[in-house]
Amino acid sequence: MSFELIRHDTNIDFVGLRKYAYILSAVLLIAGSLSLLFKGGPQYGIDFAGGFNVQVRFSKTVELDKIRTSLNSPALPGLIVQNFGDADDNEVLLRVSFADQSANDVRSTVSQGLEKEFGAGSYDIQRLEMVGPKVGADLREKALQAIFYAVLLIATYISGRFEQKWMIAGLMAAGLSSVVYVLDLLNAPTSISVIAATVATLVLCVALRLKYALGAMVALIHDVMIPLGFFSIMNKDVDLTIIAALLTIVGYSLNDTIIVYDRIRENMRAKISPSLDTVINASVNQTLSRTIITSGTTFLAVLALYIFGGGVIHDFALCMLLGVLAGTYSSIYVAAPVLGFFKPRIEVERTPKAAEA
């Protein structure tokens, strides 16, 4: 007998609650989008913006303002000082913008400033990383393209898997990929071309009646924008580890969405009710136990990383925590309601008696 956290015949009216869910999603997305707009986009880390990361460990607790004062030098432009790791570690992370200085110059300037203020032997430079601005820009462009291509391929798979429209979805994906590639060759801003191609994908899904793909894409965009908005509001950096977390969230959310979609399709074929809202409600309730168990165990594992993983993996774990919550929520309140909005046709498998008639 299978383990069920929630009974299979539970009847929660998720469709009836969708208006409140829409309001919640709208508030979160608008707040995050306004933050991104006013700040000119995400706050990129050294991986994307270029510059230096200097990790310093002090022998005792020091005030961040004193560190900023001691390192006030033209050789350290755009200096940002922040705590790193646990409070008892006395570790500080210095972020310096790139201005044609070498790593040795940065190390020397930091050492001279800290030694003058706190004395020799009171600190230890544990790590110094440098990324050039050109490399950072290339990484940023490739990261945006990776997210776009992931979502586009997912839309193609969903259309073929649930609607048997492999040819139409494949042609759409090939066309949009070509457009992004050509714009890249013409040196068009990657962010603008990716956003335009994403909007075009949504419009084509509506025009071609790719209902399942449209619901999945809206849910995935929702799941990516929620963590990005939170990171912008909290003034946290977006680097390669955050992109890895976002791509992981896309795959995780898709897995849950496919489970819900598969149950909706089965119940539509079984004609459990003439009302599509009733079918969606029944399908979400039937998969609710599986959703909570899977999401709950994943959430606990990522929470352990967030608490005990240390400063290096802290932001990655935070992004994953937000993504797991957003992905679970979107599978129930975003993907399924969007599918119901377009009223997919109920397909009934042909029986021998119907074939004979």
pLDDT band of residue 322 (cuts 50, 70, 90) is very high
Question: What average pLDDT does the segment 92-98 reach?
Answer: 81
Beta-carbon-side half-sphere exposure of residue 212 (alpha carbons within 13 Å): 24
Name residue 216's amino acid.
A
pLDDT score for 318: 92
pTM > 0.75: yes or no: yes
11-14 contacts at long range (C-beta below 8 A, 24 or more positions apart): 11/281, 11/282, 11/285, 12/281, 12/284, 12/285, 12/288, 13/281, 14/280, 14/281, 14/284, 14/285, 14/332, 14/333, 14/336
pLDDT score for 230: 92
pLDDT score for 125: 86
Tens-digit pLDDT profile for residues 26-84: 999 999 999 988 888 888 877 777 788 888 888 888 888 888 888 887 777 777 788 77
Question: What is the C-alpha to C-alpha distance for residues 153 and 157, in angstroms, rounded to an integer?
Answer: 6
Whether 107 and 128 have beta carbons less than 8 Å apart is answered as yes
Q: Which of 152-166, 252-266, 273-287, 334-348 has the lowest mean pLDDT?
A: 334-348
Encoded tokens for 40: 């000119």
Query: How crowded is residue 170: how many other Cβ atoms within 10 Å of its Cβ?
Result: 13
